[in-house]
Chains A and B, each alone.
Chain A
Amino acid sequence: MTRQPFIVDFLQNDKGGKVFISILLVLMLVVPALNLLVPADSFFHIPTYTVTLLGKYLSYAMLAIALDLVWGYCGILSLGHAAFFALGGYAMGMYLMRQIGDRGVYGNAELPDFMVFLNWTELPWYWQGFDMFWFAMIMVVLVPGLLALVFGWLAFRARVTGVYLSIITQALTYALLLAFFMNELGFGGNNGLTDFKDILGYDLQADTTRASLFFLSALFLIITYFLCRFIITSKLGRVVVAIRDAEDRTRFIGYKVESFKLWIFVLSAMIAGVAGALFVPQVGIINPGEFSPLNSIELVVWVAIGGRATLYGAALGAVIVNYSKSYLTAAFPEIWLFALGGLFLLVTIFMPKGIIGLWNQMRLKLQEKKQLTTENKIE
């Protein structure tokens, strides 16, 4: 079988992907334009608050795609993926923290406020270099990647699979949660990192910066989608899916299952890290709460609701759940957990393939009906 170039394959076969990318491209251009160019009193104006909110959803969507890559395609249910997201976020937060300089409450040019508060006299070694943007950006992918590499290498080599893997990934994020809560670790403890002022010299509160961040989130989401799509349609992707469906069989055929799993896991962690780095400047805070196991499980639900192993389904799920969360927690705070819990049940029992799966099913039925009617006519 000759393989088509990726772009041709995408245009010919990936219907859902085309819709997804088109929507994103439109959003990417239209939202910032409506925010910046249209006067504030116009009907079409999009307030900066909404732009930021949408940007947040897009970074969540990116995280969801990262999880879909390992869960949907490789069958690794990570219950600690938010940890990689938070680590990326912390790396970005550290850069933003250093950018504050002497504008903090204590006016110390070198040390962030919380370190001055702890009576520290100099910057710990692991904070060195974070005043440089390029270094911080390398760390955004490197730190989650390294953690995933070490953790994955240990876990996959020992053939920890299924539920056991899920539980120890949860232990991992729980351990990180406890660790980041400690003041002595030097990441701001309970309060985390916040009070950011500017990024690369641009004021974080400015409308133009907000709009640019949204633009970047959309752009990175598109890149992520293409990257993941490229991987899963490649030969490597086929092997990964084979591992998901029959791990032992793939191993017996002669593939090094562990290496494939590790590869996908590390890549996914890196994408999660980038998503975290996009999330933090828009939200303006990163704290240990992001490590909480609940976040990781919620993330799994986004993917499950949207539809596993479709990539765009995961993104859709992330946006839908987070939109309803923003809406419900504000309008009916009592209802939110009921709704979320109910969604868990509904999706797992009645919609194992998520919204996208449901949509495909309905389309299939319609097609069958059409076929039947045309056949009847011919008769």
Chain B
Amino acid sequence: MTFSSRKNTLRLLSFILILLVSVSYSSVGLTASVELKTEAPVVADISFEVATANLMAGNYSDREKAIKILLSVDDERVLPVFQRMLKSKLYYIKKTKQLVFIEKTDGGYKTTSILNNKELGLFEKNKLKKVKVNNKLRRLLRSYIARLGIKSTDVAVRKAAVKQLLKNINEETIAILQVLDKQETNSAIKELVAAGVSIWNLNSNDKTVQLAAIKALSKSLVPEVKVKLQEIIENTEDASIKKAAINSLKKIDSKISTFEFLENLVFGLSLGSVLLLIAVGLAITFGVMGVINMAHGELMMLGAYTTYVVQQMLPEHITTSIFISVPLAFLVAGAFGVAIERFVIRYLYGRPLETLLATFGISLILQQLVRSIFGPTNQAVQTPAFMSGSLEINSIFAITYNRLYIFIFAIVVLLLLMLILKKTKLGLQVRAVSQNRTMAKAMGVKSEWVDAMTFGLGSGIAGVAGVALSQLTNVGPNLGQGYIIDSFMVVVFGGVGNLLGTFVGAMSLGVFNKFLEPWSGAVLAKILVLIFIILFIQKRPRGLFPKKGRGVED
């Protein structure tokens, strides 16, 4: 057994944990509301009602004029109109000539007035007429939506708007960007704006300005920059500019490849943390007790369904429900685990292959049980607000919050488990029984009770893993099946009876998988990992960190 004296590992893990928490805090973006005035040509003080009425004009060029006029109307209702129009959801009622947003329902088209958001009732399709847009208008609308979006107080909307503007930089957009450059406080958006200004400066006639712009762009990771630089390299005749551009491009490329590497690493670690969660319970039941629990996946499924049920009971408090789900899932799955141990596995110790079959039978029964109670379809489990969204490091590298939290969660679970095994009386007894059952019994350890508790602990952790999985995948009766092989691979790869091995195994398999993926595709990557493990087992039949000492052969 290698649970003893692993202080260094614990220290390392807690360090990683602290690091992660600090990163997640320090990079919460600075939000500030910005008031902007666009430089669009002001035609006249036309009211929203009048301006929109022009949209119903017969031909595209009239509509284009109407859109341009509408842009100058200072009204918050303009943006939704543009957005719906772009999605072809802006209609008007033929009879009354009222402009409406439509929503398709079973009974017909639900209409809401664009003027006051009042519902005007259901209409047949032939009573409505679409405000048609062509590609030219769509382009126009996109850039206008971006211009209006810049005024938004929401950082994400503003950012998207700036990104949209960067796609087509001309005199108009650059004017907007220059204004924004002075007012913007969010550093990420500032970076985008600066890139936009530099891209514009590339067109300058002044060579020094051009060179400065090229140099400035080498720091930018905006996708458009690369395209522009490539254009320059192909078209310019000036040798020094060409050289500068090639230099900048090289810098960008090396930066991008660094971030791609980082991205693969983070995705790999995130996949690894999922693998860790699903395998760590198995590391207890399989590793410590030597019981092959094929129902492990179904215990995770029970955890996921517990999350679902708790959410159904507390539909108003999704965030709270997650925190309630974790201990509850532990109890539910743990109780099932103890029951499985008491009624089935107890009779099969020393017969691993029979245990495998019996627990597989249990997994089928649990699957059908859930199917009979909740139905065969997947259930929708909601993601709490704090877990949605993503942490954007720069324009090509972002980590979604659910990945981050699940990583932290997996580490916490692992640490807690290590603590239980090292510091509690139960942990001591578990280690004693797994090392030498007879001797432990002679010392007065109730080995049967310890077996049941150990199995319950491993199963409970499977349930906790299920809560995390409910945030990542569909919650359905087949949830467990998809993970059971993966979790066994992790445990076998890492070495049986060793939590550190499980940790290293899970993380390295996750990273390995993600680094293969861009090169081979997701399915092939998985196949390659499986083949790798099959070959690895030949070299080290007992995994990365094998059990040492006496009693290895039994």
Point out residues on A near B: beta carbons under 8 Å: 77, 151, 154-155, 157-160, 162-164, 166-168, 170-172, 174-175, 178-179, 181-182, 293-294, 297, 300-301, 304, 334, 336-338, 340-345, 347-349, 352
Contact = CB atoms under 8 A, between A and B. Distances in A.
Contacts of A348: 348, 354-355, 357-358, 361
A178 B348 CA distance: 33
B492 interface: yes
Contacts of B363: 341
A349 B358 contact: yes
3 tightest A-B contacts by CB?
A344-B361, A341-B364, A337-B368
B367 interface: yes
A104 to B, nearest CB: 27
A175 B527 CA distance: 5
A159 B552 CA distance: 14
Find the residue from B356, B364, B538 having the highest chain A CB count within 10 A. Answer: B364
Interface string B532-546: 011101110100000
Contact of A178 (B347, B352, B492, B526): B526
A173 to B, nearest CB: 10
Contacts of B539: 158
A343 B358 CA distance: 9
B362 interface: yes
A345 B362 contact: yes
A174 B368 CA distance: 22
Given A338-B365, A341-B362, A158 B538 contact: yes
A347 B361 CA distance: 10
Contact of B364 (A77, A162, A344): A344
A176 to B, nearest CB: 8
16 contacts: A155-B537, A160-B538, A163-B292, A163-B353, A164-B537, A166-B356, A170-B488, A171-B534, A172-B534, A174-B485, A178-B523, A338-B365, A340-B361, A343-B361, A345-B361, A349-B348
B46 interface: no
A162 B541 CA distance: 11
Nearest to A337: B368
B122 to A, nearest CB: 40
Contacts of B526: 175, 178
Given A167-B488, A341-B363, A341-B364, A77 B353 contact: yes
A182 B365 contact: no
Contact of A349 (B347, B353, B365): B347
Given A163-B352, A179-B523, 9 more contacts: A155-B537, A157-B538, A166-B356, A174-B530, A175-B526, A175-B534, A297-B357, A344-B357, A349-B347
Given A158-B539, A162-B352, A171-B533, A340 B485 contact: no
A325 B488 CA distance: 29
B126 interface: no
Contacts of A159: 541
A181 B485 contact: no
Nearest to A79: B356
A320 B531 CA distance: 35
A77 B353 CA distance: 8
A158 B534 CA distance: 11
Contacts of A294: 481
Given A164-B537, A168-B534, A344-B358, A337 B485 contact: no
A79 to B, nearest CB: 8
B344 interface: yes
Given A301-B357, A342-B365, A344-B358, A167 B492 contact: yes
Contacts of B353: 77, 162-163, 166
Interface residues of B, number: 40
A289 B367 CA distance: 19
B409 interface: no
B372 interface: yes
Contacts of B16: none
Given A163-B292, A349-B347, A337 B365 contact: yes
A292 to B, nearest CB: 9
Interface string B436-467: 00000000000000000000000000000000
A166 B488 CA distance: 11
B176 to A, nearest CB: 46
B489 interface: yes
Find the residue from A157, A181, A293, A344 having the highest chain B CB count within 10 A. Answer: A344
B485 A171 contact: yes
B352 to A, nearest CB: 5
Interface string B340-353: 00001001100011
A178 B347 CA distance: 36
Contacts of B357: 297, 300-301, 304, 344, 347-348
B360 interface: yes
A178 B344 contact: no
Nearest to B477: A337
Interface string B153-188: 000000000000000000000000000000000000
A159 B362 CA distance: 30
Contacts of B348: 348-349
A155 B538 contact: yes
Contacts of A170: 485, 488
Interface string B465-478: 00000000000000
B347 A341 contact: no
A174 B533 CA distance: 12
Contacts of B531: 175
A132 B523 CA distance: 32
Given A163-B353, A178-B527, A297 B360 contact: yes
A154 B347 contact: no
B419 interface: no
Nearest to A158: B538
A158 B362 contact: no
Contacts of A168: 492, 533-534, 537
Contacts of B367: 337
A347 B354 CA distance: 9
A325 to B, nearest CB: 12
Contacts of B352: 162-163
Nearest to B347: A349
A168 B489 CA distance: 8
A344 B534 contact: no
A164 B495 CA distance: 11
A182 B537 contact: no
B524 interface: yes
Find the residue from B292, B362, B534, B539 having the highest chain A CB count within 10 A. Answer: B534
A341 B365 contact: yes
Find the residue from B371, B489, B535, B541 having the highest chain A CB count within 10 A. Answer: B541
A167 B355 CA distance: 13
Contacts of B489: 167, 171
Contacts of A344: 357-358, 360-362, 364
Contacts of A154: 534-535, 538
Contacts of A167: 292, 488-489, 492
B553 to A, nearest CB: 9
B498 to A, nearest CB: 15
